[in-house]
Structure 1
């Protein structure tokens, strides 16, 4: 990736959450605008025909993965940072080390390039103040950002908002993907695409039809009034944001199946996991997806279920095996339900099998 990006004008998107969707949005905008970018991202996008694209233009758009520090090998023309969070502590050790890695990543920007930074995140605001690179900022909450979204409207058909740049109205943006987090993702994509020289009307047209990346609020099916969605969220902040977006679609009930990812993450962020499922009407936990890790004594989904009950008073159902969780859902779902499978492992299989069973029963 570094060899490909560093030989071109790279657009690298980094952050604990949102980097796949933001890089996918930028990639779709660029590809549909005719500038023929090369694309390398971590999720499949139907309009791109996969997760990579070999272009002949000057730009290479890529997702920059901070998990093992390898994103520091990139020297982009544009660096987009969606947020900085306390993930991957098994690699970095401390939150300050994570921050310093992102600071170095932005410091790698080529001469004449810029950083596109989300002002809603406190650590990214600190980064904007401390870097000597030229900065473009965007946000929903904080005044002081260059790009600001106002008059946000959420509904079952998507999201819309008015975009301002340095206090001046620019345009109205319409999205079919739900949630406040996708407002931010689209703002980062808009700002980056504008710096790539892409016209506003082409940016808006691409954003309006962007249906999301695979495993990012991905609809698995809608059968007899039951909507089944899968999402890759595996960090507590990410989960909370995803469930809030799900709640904004106004389901009668929101049923969530969560498969924790890695014993180390479950242990290190246990307290945060206990607080992030409050938007669920019903929560089911399956066994931890080890991702090649050895089990840690005392760290389990059953222990996490007890922690969530103690912290929030929520009723949490522990069903270890995926097949058993699917069988339970098949018995209890009813029209108006939104069923979400959440996690970075193979929990998506539950939703796929549930859709198949619902379709068979509907015949």
Structure 2
């Protein structure tokens, strides 16, 4: 077992700008657990902020220069932090070093056996499956995930074991900072249009990521998805890299023999080293079953017995916002989905359609995420919504972006209508819960979908249904 890693000097007294974010809070939590004096700020109060305070971190609400302590050893930022942030300006005045989130995470993995999980979709689920399974097996891993496993603050953990599982973000190329022993690539598609102009740029970025795998390490990559297959062909000449493919393709090294849907769960059978292995996956959908197979292949690459790992993966019960059942009222189930790219939307809608009882309807509340993504993929988003019986489409959630003239939710609504979907614009977010409650009947499934604050609507819809 590897010795417990220490804290780099630069991270002994870190100040996080945007400490409540999924990626930032995880790093802050691990540093606090290792004994660092953690501080930071976030735009609003949250349960995540409260969870960090419980670990001893100082968390300010709002951004102000005074929040940055004079003795801070560094300021940690993500790519979402704007250059005019007052705390960032104060850091420049004081000469405090600025560290990108990815560099901080990379330093936390030093001296351990990292598994870095990459891909346009499915990173959070796959990372979570590995974290849960390795913990179940008593290996006490450290992990940093882009979503909460159970409650606020459960997106990361400092373990005493030698394995570190990390979600590797391609959106800003920050995943190129890591040196994993095992890299997973689930899929490769064009997204993050503000940072990538073409598929060639995407491939180049992923090639750089794969090239950072340590000598003798392993790449676990999909044998089914076209972008992943292309990437595999580009990196096979790396002499120090072992490539393990997984999927339903006949030539896959870890071949999926059968996936059986069982309501909101599934069962998957794989062929590994000539033997059949069947295990349960506690979330619905073929895409989640395939994520579980990727997790299995990665664990085997680290030397963990496949049958032990398969049983442990079966203990995974989901992560917040990944087809998470929020509750049931008046015979209506409300489920929440983080899907915001057309491929993700289609996969989750197909999974929910397969899980729906006969004769029930699938009703969707969709919130587009980012103007740039809507500009490039709005038509495909609308086409995906044709899988639902009826949809409400909210205004675009801007996140870090400024509006783009002429880019609105109407692009999605027009495309959905052209595809034969029943879609209605919902400009007043406060009225949505009442609208859905009036539409839904016993046996129906309601899916709130998107990467923004549409997730807040689930409890409100349940409350209206219960009234």
TM-score under structure 2 length normalisation: 0.74
- Alignment equivalent of 1:28, drawn from 95, 120, 132: 132
Q: Distance in 1 between matches of 2:386 and 2:245?
A: 30
Are the counterparts in 2 of residues 155 and 248 from structure 1 also a CA contact under 8 Å? no
Deviation at 1:151, TM superposition (A): 2.6
Q: Any runs of at least 4 consecutive aligned residues in structure 1 with deviations exceeding 4 A, and if so which? A: none
- Alignment equivalent of 1:55, drawn from 146, 154, 159: 159
Whether 1:154 and 2:261 are equivalent positions in the alignment is yes
Deviation at 1:130, TM superposition (A): 2.1
Partner of 2:362: 254
Partner of 2:375: 267
- Alignment equivalent of 1:214, drawn from 311, 316, 320: 320
Q: 5+ unaligned residues in a row in structure 1: which ranges?
A: none
Q: Distance in 2 between matches of 1:292 and 1:14?
A: 22
RMSD: 1.5
Deviation at 1:302, TM superposition (A): 2.6
Are the counterparts in 1 of residues 180 and 217 from structure 2 also a CA contact under 8 Å? yes
Superposition pairs of residues 344-363 of structure 1, within 5 angstroms: 344-359=451-466, 361=467
Secondary structure of the residue aligned to 2:453 is coil
Secondary structure of the residue aligned to 1:46 is coil
Are the counterparts in 1 of residues 433 and 464 from structure 2 also a CA contact under 8 Å? no
Aligned length: 357
Deviation digits for residues 29-48 of structure 1 (CA, Å, limit 9, x no counterpart): 11111111111111111299
Partner of 1:285: 393
Structure with greater Cα Rg: 2
Partner of 2:40: none
Deviation at 1:65, TM superposition (A): 0.4
Structure 1 60/153 Cα, relative in aligned 2: closer, same or farther at 3 Å? Answer: same
Are the counterparts in 2 of residues 67 and 88 from structure 1 also a CA contact under 8 Å? yes
Are the counterparts in 2 of residues 28 and 47 from structure 1 also a CA contact under 8 Å? no
Deviation at 1:157, TM superposition (A): 4.6
Deviation digits for residues 183-225 of structure 1 (CA, Å, limit 9, x no counterpart): 1100001111112232334323322231111110011101232
Q: 5+ unaligned residues in a row in structure 2: which ranges?
A: 1-104
Deviation digits for residues 296-343 of structure 1 (CA, Å, limit 9, x no counterpart): 121111332122212x02121111122211110111211111100000
Whether 1:16 and 2:120 are equivalent positions in the alignment is yes
Secondary structure of the residue aligned to 2:271 is strand
Are the counterparts in 2 of residues 13 and 79 from structure 1 also a CA contact under 8 Å? yes
TM-score under structure 1 length normalisation: 0.95
Whether 1:70 and 2:178 are equivalent positions in the alignment is no
Q: Distance in 2 between matches of 1:58 and 1:40?
A: 14
- Alignment equivalent of 1:307, drawn from 415, 426, 429: 415
